[in-house]
Structure 1
Amino acid sequence: MIFSDGDHLKEFGGLPVVDWPSAAEQQKKQPTAAPGAAAWRLTAGTWQNEESWPEAFARFAAAVDLREVRAIVVGAWPEAYDDGPGAVVEALLGAREHLTSLRSLFLGDMISEECEISWIHQGDVTPLLTGFPELERLGIRGSVDLELQPVRHESLRELVIQSGGLPAEVVRAVAACDFPALTTLDLWLGTPDYGGDSEIGDLAPIMAGTRLPALRHLGLRNSEIEDEVASALAAAPVVARLDVLDLSMGVLTDDGAVALLGGQPLTHLKALDLHHNYLTAGVAQRLREALEPAGVRLELDKDDAEEDTDEDGSAWRYVAVGE
């Protein structure tokens, strides 16, 4: 799942994202996509659509065969900077006996004009996992008041949580879940300024991989502790079975990269994503020389990773996504 601060999701669950129209737009023209041919994005509480999210969903349910719907993208809901998606979750669970084909769900597809990522209020998402046992993809953007209870889910294949600061209790809950089918786990750990207070020990069960036997793509990124993450992964059992390791968007310096290079072999990877980093040219070249001849696709572009300097000369480094 690709996140752009300037645009909404374009694709989700292998389907194009199609906006469900407002009530006024629906009166003029009905969407032409078949219910199962799109990831339907439902938005409410904006200047374009002032109804509640359950009202928008009720129109959607009345117009399409919910039994055919495979993917839903929840966009904005009213006052997301103050209120979580409780009414959204209640509406979805209330329709679960009809949403028999739902396999992909994204909660909080908002851009900055609607609500900054670190202002998006969430809530307890555990009922979505227990209520939809056949769900294969769950994406969440925002982490204020986000809650998750450790669960076992037999079908989930992809879990993505995008945040400017992921609370430690959520990280620990993810680590305590049993996801035997999960192939992709992508956590944006963020910074303490926005609630990202996890420590390296909170990630230990994920790095052990015991509860994630099918994991092939691991993202632990957008983190101020990226050097510690990289150092721990140098000896982490889960790495040996990965195809993709993503440590991008964070404060990765030479210390973390050198530790990663000095640990277990990485030449089995298909891709190592380190874009947005604070590496020197010499260490970046060492990575290329060690991995690219083995066919590893290496992402090293710095993008907007820039240092600020205090009056005493100390450097300030930033994650890619904060506020």
Structure 2
Amino acid sequence: MREFHGLPAFDFPAAEAKAELPDAASVAWRISVDSYESEEAWEAAFARFAESVDTTEVRALIVGAWSDAYDSGPDEVISALVAARDRLPALRALFLGDITFMECEISWINQGLVTPLLDAFPELRAFGVRGGQELRFPAVRHARLRSLTIETGGLDAEVVRSVAASDFPELEHLDLWLGTSWYGANAQVADLAPILAGSRLPRLRSLALRNSEMQDEIAMALAGAPVVAGLETLDLSMGTLGDEGAEALLGGQPLTHLKKLDLHHNYLGEAMRKRLLDTLGAAGVEIDLSESTEPDREDDGVEHRYTAVAE
């Protein structure tokens, strides 16, 4: 992650490193340790950070790798952050699990109960989490949150339902990476119904339901979903979208009010891509149709499509 909450990311240096630190409010601080058998616990690195930086000015925090994220969750990380809430009065953005695939594949990242962070920081505007294994996100209310991102290779239906049942009156941006059943995705389109209805998220302007193996079904549901009328950006990228889903979008409610329609990483045919550009692109909608590809086909004609992010 190079930027977060409009601020450049800055890696808090290791204990032995000598580095000049920027102003506390000028960057999004990324705190991370070695992902394999680290000699320093994440909580110890955070303690050094709190001793070195004026935490009352910190606006954004990025939690990078904790040791052995493939084998243990961030419970102690979360506890350390919750305990420090009074020392972080200006915190407005928090991301949990900015772990690269070289450190730990996304579907091997262990998570846990993450909503105590939302409870502890009622002034947060942006919250994100990466990794779906053991992720728990019971329905919650947060009066200030404007952006929620959950990145996974496979998102459990219970998390989807809980997000849909949460009360986020100020939420403007929702980004869910639903993933593939190979890595735990088991949600159905029906689980998204409260989101698609629009009434629970009255200020939503950007909706991303992506990286999904049921991308066509989601597109079909969105073709008549009330939430679309209030959107500026719709993102169905990174999944298995094919001509069937795109046909439903074109045949459904008008989309010409959108500023952007992101369909990158898709399985659309050339004729369908041209129709989208001629119909929506010509109306001023910015459309991303990059990474279009043909499905893999077996000798018997069986078609295989893949999400962009899985393991």
On whether the aligned pair clears a TM of 0.5, the verdict is: yes
1:77 and 2:66 are equivalent in the alignment: yes
Q: 1:141: Cα distance to partner?
A: 0.7
1:17 and 2:5 are equivalent in the alignment: no
Q: 1:63: Cα distance to partner?
A: 0.8
Given the alignment, which residue of 298, 301, 308 partners 2:296?
A: 308
2:133: which partner in 1?
Answer: 144
Counterparts of 1:125 and 1:250, CA distance in 2: 26
**What's the secondary structure of 1:149's corresponding residue?**
coil
1:279: which partner in 2?
Answer: 268
Q: 1:47: Cα distance to partner?
A: 6.3
What does 1:84-123 correspond to in 2, within 5 Å? 84-123=73-112
1:223 and 2:212 are equivalent in the alignment: yes
**What's the secondary structure of 2:69's corresponding residue?**
coil
Counterparts of 2:271 and 2:111, CA distance in 1: 42
Q: Match for 1:18: what amino acid?
A: F
Unaligned runs of 5+ in 1: 1-8
**What's the secondary structure of 1:312's corresponding residue?**
coil
Counterparts of 1:128 and 1:306, CA distance in 2: 42
Q: 1:30: Cα distance to partner?
A: 3.6
TM-score (structure 2 length as normaliser) = 0.98
Counterparts of 1:162 and 1:19, CA distance in 2: 21
Indicate conservation of the 8 Å contact 2:269/2:294, yes or no: no
How many residues are aligned here?
A: 311
Q: 1:155: Cα distance to partner?
A: 0.5
- Structure 1 stretches of at least 4 aligned residues deviating more than 4 Å after TM superposition: none
1:238 and 2:230 are equivalent in the alignment: no
1:322 and 2:306 are equivalent in the alignment: no
Unaligned runs of 5+ in 2: none
**What's the secondary structure of 1:16's corresponding residue?**
strand
Given the alignment, which residue of 153, 174, 182 partners 1:164?
A: 153
Q: 1:314: Cα distance to partner?
A: 0.6
Counterparts of 1:219 and 1:120, CA distance in 2: 22
State, as a whole percentage, how many aligned pairs show the same letter: 57
Indicate conservation of the 8 Å contact 2:37/2:67, yes or no: no
Q: 1:293: Cα distance to partner?
A: 1.9
1:97-128 deviations in whole A, cap 9, x for unaligned? 11000001011111111000010011011101
Indicate conservation of the 8 Å contact 1:157/1:182, yes or no: yes
What does 1:202-217 correspond to in 2, within 5 Å? 202-217=191-206
Question: RMSD value over aligned CA atoms?
Answer: 1.2
Q: Match for 1:168: what amino acid?
A: A
Counterparts of 1:192 and 1:72, CA distance in 2: 31
Q: 1:49: Cα distance to partner?
A: 5.4
TM-score (structure 1 length as normaliser) = 0.94
2:241: which partner in 1?
Answer: 252
Q: Match for 1:170: what amino acid?
A: V
**What's the secondary structure of 2:103's corresponding residue?**
coil
Q: Match for 1:163: what amino acid?
A: T
2:142: which partner in 1?
Answer: 153
1:152-175 deviations in whole A, cap 9, x for unaligned? 111100001111001100000000
Name whichever of 305-314 and 35-44 sits farther off. Answer: 305-314
